[in-house]
């Protein structure tokens, strides 16, 4: 190449980048692409960044937040997707990336994936646990139905209520049951009903429809409103084979709206029939119990004697015992009189004088013996006392004091100070007892030394 005769076509970096970008826009304006998501990131900016790869290549991708709000599922690593987008150069790094306008799971619809993701997340949080299920009222006085006022499901339910319990109070809370507004209206309806607390039971109902039609009942917002409801909730959504997240969260899932009405209220005729059966059974039990008690009473009456006969028997017995007692008393008096007379005959004046002299002599001899014994006892006790006192005096403190020792005690409490540890602090008063007097002193210094 002759660089001297030809003018060089020199690009700046920005010019070359722009030229490449224009070329890519021309040949890859918009296209469909499939691959596996990796390196997924969701920063605070609201944009979604990830890489799209297959077995041999990888390309960066982005979903801006204005497109993110249209997603029906949550992108995650390892998920195979199909997307519609365009190529763009990112000048600051000189790299290219795919800007997606639309993306969906490959092989599995985005709505189905959103359903599975929401279901798994709420299940992990425990919203489906049986321990949170509320017991339905046996006979609710008022039922509130959250449904479309124009749907056939409502008419079927009202028919069931009229057949089973015609005087039941029914409240219709009208909502949209499909479309973009449905999710918000259903969740708000449940919250408002709980705020007023003017019903005993809530039924969320909708007739059959496609999976897309039932999506409002797979909403996390609706599921949390049902879970947080203080009023029991029955879900009757779609056909028997249809399952929604609302079914898993509600206190009772009914396969159809009609079944929900049947679960909500018992049949009045059946109740009346059951009560009639219980009434007859109770009458039979009471009659048998009455007859049994009556038989027992008759048996007791047969064994029970006439009280007047019993009184007459007791009166006769009392008379007989009284006569017997009088005879015994008379006999006792006669015996005592006879003994008294015999004693008078035996005792004479002479015998009484002899008895007095004998008793006096016996008394004097007894007194002498007692005086002698008491005198000997006093002598013995006096000798013992003198021995004990002499021993006590030898061992007592006064003998110790005479030998040159002293007793030290606190002045006020009179507590004897036996150890250096017992002494009060410096400046306190103590008392020293000697053989011939006492001395009051002040403590000036304490030294712990052995003699």
One domain, residues 213 and 175:
yes
Give the pLDDT confidence of 38-80 residue by residue, as tens digits. 899 988 888 999 999 888 888 899 999 888 877 777 888 888 8
Mean pLDDT, the chain, whole residue set: 83
One domain, residues 245 and 273:
no
Give the pLDDT confidence of 4-18 residue by residue, as tens digits. 555 667 777 777 877
Integer Cα distance of 256 and 204 in angstroms = 11
One domain, residues 239 and 290:
no
- Provide the CATH number for the domain around residue 87: 2.40.50.140
One domain, residues 223 and 320:
no
Q: Which two tokens stand for residue 63?
A: 């979903």
* pLDDT at residue number 326: 84
| Length in residues, the chain | 451
Integer Cα distance of 383 and 389 in angstroms = 10
One domain, residues 154 and 259:
yes
One domain, residues 169 and 236:
yes
One domain, residues 238 and 222:
yes
Q: Which two tokens stand for residue 154?
A: 């409502």
Looking at per-residue pLDDT, the higher value among 201 and 428 belongs to 201
Give the pLDDT confidence of 122-143 residue by residue, as tens digits. 889 898 898 999 999 988 999 9
* pLDDT at residue number 450: 65
Q: What is the 3-state secondary structure (H, E, C) of the chain?
A: CCCCCCCCCCCCHHHHHHHHHHHHHHHCCCEEEEEEEEEEECCCCCCEEEEEECCCCEEEEEECHHHHCCCCCCCCCCCEEEEEEEEEEECCCCEEEEEEEEEEECCCCHHHHHHHHHHHHHHHHCCCCHHHCCCCCCCCCEEEEEECCCCHHHHHHHHHHHHHCCCCEEEEEECCCCCCCHHHHHHHHHHHHHHHCCCCEEEEEECCCCCCCCHHHHCHHHHHHHHCCCCCEEEEECCCCCCCHHHHHCCEEECCHHHHHHHHCCCHHHHHHHHHHHHHHHHHHHHHHHHHHHHHHHHHHHHCCCHHHHHHHHHHHHHHHHHHHHHHHHHHHHHHHHHHHHHHHHCCHHHHHHHHHHHHHHHHHHHHHHHHHHHHHHHHHHHHHHHHHHHHHHHCHHHHHHCCCCEEEECCCCCECCCHHHCCCCCCEEEEEECCEEEEEECCCCCCCCC
Segment 24-38 mean pLDDT: 80
Q: Which of 266, 281, 311 is the last residue of a domain?
A: 266
Integer Cα distance of 96 and 311 in angstroms = 124
Integer Cα distance of 370 and 381 in angstroms = 16
In-domain check, residue 339 = no
In-domain check, residue 187 = yes
* pLDDT at residue number 348: 57
Give the pLDDT confidence of 181-212 residue by residue, as tens digits. 898 999 999 999 999 999 999 999 998 877 77
Prediction pTM value: 0.47
* pLDDT at residue number 231: 94
Q: Exposed/middle/buried for 420, CB within 10 Å: 0-12, 13-18, 19+?
A: exposed
Tell me how far CA of residue 156 lies from CA of 149, 162, 206, 408, in angstroms.
12, 10, 11, 110
* pLDDT at residue number 184: 92
In-domain check, residue 26 = yes
Segment 211-216 mean pLDDT: 81
Q: Which of 266, 295, 318 is the last residue of a domain?
A: 266
In-domain check, residue 376 = no
One domain, residues 145 and 250:
yes
One domain, residues 165 and 224:
yes
Q: Which of 197, 232, 266 is the last residue of a domain?
A: 266
Range of the domain at 66: 13-108
In-domain check, residue 408 = yes
In-domain check, residue 259 = yes
One domain, residues 258 and 223:
yes
Q: Which of 407, 427, 402, 434 is nearest to 418 (CA)?
A: 407
- Provide the CATH number for the domain around residue 179: 3.40.50.10550
Give the pLDDT confidence of 266-281 residue by residue, as tens digits. 887 887 888 888 888 9
In-domain check, residue 333 = no
One domain, residues 261 and 273:
no
Confidence band (pLDDT; 50, 70, 90) for 309? Answer: low
One domain, residues 174 and 249:
yes
Q: How many domains does the chain have?
A: 4
Q: Which two tokens stand for residue 424?
A: 């009060």
In-domain check, residue 177 = yes
Q: Which of 196, 206, 243, 248 is nearest to 224 (CA)?
A: 248
């Amino acid at each position: 190449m002759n660089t001297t005769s030809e003018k060089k076509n020199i690009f700046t970096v920005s010019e070359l980048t722009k030229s490449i970008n224009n070329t890519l826009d021309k040949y890859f304006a918009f296209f469909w692409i499939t691959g596996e998501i990796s390196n997924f990131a969701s920063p605070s900016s609201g944009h979604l960044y990830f890489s799209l790869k297959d077995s041999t290549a990888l390309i960066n991708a982005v979903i801006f937040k204005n497109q993110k709000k249209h997603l029906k599922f949550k992108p995650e690593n390892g998920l195979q997707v199909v997307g519609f987008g365009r190529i763009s150069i990112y000048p600051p790094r000189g790299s290219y990336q795919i800007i997606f306008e639309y993306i969906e799971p490959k092989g599995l619809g985005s709505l189905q994936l959103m359903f599975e993701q929401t279901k798994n997340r709420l299940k992990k949080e425990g919203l489906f646990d049986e321990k949170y299920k509320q017991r339905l009222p046996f006979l609710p006085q008022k039922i509130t139905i959250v449904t479309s006022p124009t749907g056939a499901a409502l008419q079927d339910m009202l028919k069931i209520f009229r057949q089973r319990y015609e005087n039941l109070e029914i409240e219709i809370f009208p909502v949209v049951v499909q479309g973009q507004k449905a999710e918000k209206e259903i969740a708000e309806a449940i919250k408002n009903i709980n705020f007023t607390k003017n019903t005993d039971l809530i039924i969320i109902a909708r007739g059959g429809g496609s999976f897309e039609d039932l999506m409002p009942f797979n909403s996390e917002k609706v599921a949390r409103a049902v879970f947080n409801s203080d009023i029991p909730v029955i879900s009757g959504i779609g056909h028997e084979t249809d399952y929604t997240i609302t079914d898993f969260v509600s206190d009772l899932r009914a396969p159809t709206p009609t079944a929900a009405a049947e679960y909500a209220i018992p049949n009045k005729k059946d109740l009346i029939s059951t009560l009639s059966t219980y009434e007859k059974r109770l009458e039979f039990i009471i009659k048998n119990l009455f007859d049994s008690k009556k038989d027992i009473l008759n048996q007791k009456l047969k064994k029970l004697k006439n009280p007047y006969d019993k009184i007459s028997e007791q009166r006769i017995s009392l008379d007989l015992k009284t006569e017997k007692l009088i005879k015994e008393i008379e006999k006792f008096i006669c015996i005592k009189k006879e003994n008294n007379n015999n004693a008078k005959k035996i005792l004479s004046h002479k015998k009484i004088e002899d008895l007095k002299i004998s008793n006096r002599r016996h008394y004097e001899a007894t007194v002498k013996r007692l005086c002698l014994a008491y005198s000997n006892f006093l002598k013995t006790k006096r000798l013992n006392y003198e021995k004990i006192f002499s021993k006590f005096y030898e061992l007592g403190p006064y003998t110790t004091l005479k030998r040159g020792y002293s007793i030290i005690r606190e002045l006020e409490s009179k507590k004897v100070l036996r150890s250096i540890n017992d002494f009060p602090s410096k400046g306190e008063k103590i008392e020293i007892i000697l053989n011939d007097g006492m001395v009051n002193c002040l403590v000036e210094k304490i030294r712990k030394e052995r003699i």
